[in-house]
Amino acid sequence: MTATDARPTAGLIHKQLNPAARSATERAALMADPGFGRVHTDHMVVIRWTASDGWHDATLTAYQPLALDPAAMVLHYGQAIFEGLKAYRQANGTVAVFRPEENAARFNRSAQRLAMPELPTDLFLAAVDDLVATDLDWVPTAEGQSLYLRPFMIATEAQVGMRPAQEYLFLLIAFPVTPFFPGEVKPVTVWLSDDYVRAAIGGTGEAKCAGNYAGSLLAQRQAAEKGCDQVVWLDAVERRWVEEMGGMNLFFVRSGSAAGGARLMTPALTGTLLPGVVRDSLLALAPSLGLAVEEGRISVQEWRDGCADGTIGEVFACGTAAVIAPVGHVRSRQGDWVVGDGSAGEVTLRLRSALLDLQYGRVADPYGWMRPVG
């Protein structure tokens, strides 16, 4: 589906506007320094699913706490999946969402893996369109800011027997966010985790499920104790192949030869990596910047050797929340090393600008990635 397709689903979602929506003054005060995920907008979307009636009662309503039975299955067996995507204020003042169709598709792949019901794509997109259009004034205009959208689904059936639930809630909430300060791109220091793994073949590594994050928190804490910002995950079997960084995918920049420019390599999707929308976008975008791309694999030793002999000049992580974050330093039990000179590299910054220019509507969108809303 492209951004210009008709919206046959208009009216799918019943609207009950929030009578206590915050004033323009209150909103401005909250948006002056929103941080990440602290300040929510005035509304949310709720859609209910039951085995007997399927998806029904789609409602846009006031942001409010949920009433959950203590036996709600999500609280016991963790059937919970989520997505993360952003709406950007465009250079011309309108608002557009970056590749929501991709998030809708991934949401359903996650649902399948967790034995949860799939949400029709038109309903997912209608929820995004309606919430962003209703809370349009919450889409920041400041440089580097955006409206972060968090769709998620939980098992609400009240019974503690062990099986897939028969009742679920889909919810969509939104937060204005400031992930970075304009002009500043601070490289991160990473810890290579060999005590803990994120995902194994046959597990849930490809699904965006809450449990993957619960299982990662101790490793992230260990990384912090080692003075690192983020954990880098290695493969579960050999603890040798580099997979991803925290909740972001990794790219390695091999320096160019006399014959050609730099080459980008990102670990291939083996089943244990989360297939990022930003990862996919960079694979599509890079060739237009004269950068060759490949999906491959890299061991810890190759990473270290490449940095030592200068063939790997830059490494960066990418994801919706932080867009692109350069990796400056690596720490592990086998030793520490620096990537390039430890600062953000030229290719990293060029890709970052190209993606941000597209997302903020400062350049044409030849891919049809931006979905106008409002």
Ligand X SMILES: *Cc1c(COP(=O)(O)O)cnc(C)c1O
Binding site for ligand X (CB under 6 A): 84, 208, 244, 247-249, 274, 276-279, 319-320
Q: Which is nearer to ligand X, 208 or 263 (CB)?
A: 208
Q: For residue 39, report the phi and psi dihedrals to the nearest 5 degrees.
A: -105, 115
Note whether 318 and 249 are within 8 A (CB). yes
Q: Which is nearer to ligand X, 167 or 235 (CB)?
A: 235
For the bound state, the minimum distance from the C-beta of residue 106 to ligand X, rounded and expressed in Å, comes to 7
Show Cβ contacts of residue 97 under 8 Å, excluding neighbours closer than 6 positions. Answer: 85, 86, 87, 88, 128, 129, 132, 149, 370, 371, 373
Q: Which is nearer to ligand X, 45 or 325 (CB)?
A: 325
For the bound state, the minimum distance from the C-beta of residue 145 to ligand X, rounded and expressed in Å, comes to 17
Q: Which is nearer to ligand X, 156 or 359 (CB)?
A: 359
Q: Which is nearer to ligand X, 279 or 371 (CB)?
A: 279
For the bound state, the minimum distance from the C-beta of residue 202 to ligand X, rounded and expressed in Å, comes to 17
Measured at CB, which residue is nearest to ligand X?
A: 276
Q: Which is nearer to ligand X, 43 or 279 (CB)?
A: 279
Show Cβ contacts of residue 256 under 8 Å, excluding neighbours closer than 6 positions. Answer: 262, 263
Give the residue carrying structure tokens 């003042």: 93
For the bound state, the minimum distance from the C-beta of residue 319 to ligand X, rounded and expressed in Å, comes to 4
Tell me how far apart the alpha carbons of residues 231 and 216 are, in angstroms, rounded to a whole number. 9
Q: Which is nearer to ligand X, 230 or 320 (CB)?
A: 320
241: DSSP letter:
B
Q: For residue 361, report the phi and psi dihedrals to the nearest 5 degrees.
A: 65, 30
* Among the listed residues 272, 362, 361, the one whose alpha carbon sits nearest the alpha carbon of residue 3: 361
Helices (H), the chain: 24-31, 74-77, 100-113, 121-134, 210-225, 277-285, 300-309, 346-359
Q: Which is nearer to ligand X, 58 or 87 (CB)?
A: 87
For the bound state, the minimum distance from the C-beta of residue 276 to ligand X, rounded and expressed in Å, comes to 3
Give the residue carrying structure tokens 């999707």: 269
> How many C-alpha atoms does 223 have within 13 Å on its Cβ side?
24
Per the structure block, which two tokens stand in for 10? 């208009």
For the bound state, the minimum distance from the C-beta of residue 176 to ligand X, rounded and expressed in Å, comes to 18
Q: Which is nearer to ligand X, 74 or 248 (CB)?
A: 248
Note whether 153 and 116 are within 8 A (CB). yes
For the bound state, the minimum distance from the C-beta of residue 249 to ligand X, rounded and expressed in Å, comes to 5
* Among the listed residues 186, 189, 190, 274, the one whose alpha carbon sits nearest the alpha carbon of residue 231: 190
For the bound state, the minimum distance from the C-beta of residue 245 to ligand X, rounded and expressed in Å, comes to 8
Q: Which is nearer to ligand X, 164 or 179 (CB)?
A: 179
Tell me how far apart the alpha carbons of residues 39 and 172 are, in angstroms, rounded to a whole number. 14
For the bound state, the minimum distance from the C-beta of residue 102 to ligand X, rounded and expressed in Å, comes to 7
Tell me how far apart the alpha carbons of residues 234 and 242 are, in angstroms, rounded to a whole number. 5
209: DSSP letter:
B
Q: For residue 275, report the phi and psi dihedrals to the nearest 5 degrees.
A: -75, 95
Report helix, strand or coil for 301.
helix
For the bound state, the minimum distance from the C-beta of residue 235 to ligand X, rounded and expressed in Å, comes to 14
Which sign, positive or negative, has the C-alpha torsion 49, 97, 368, 323?
A: negative
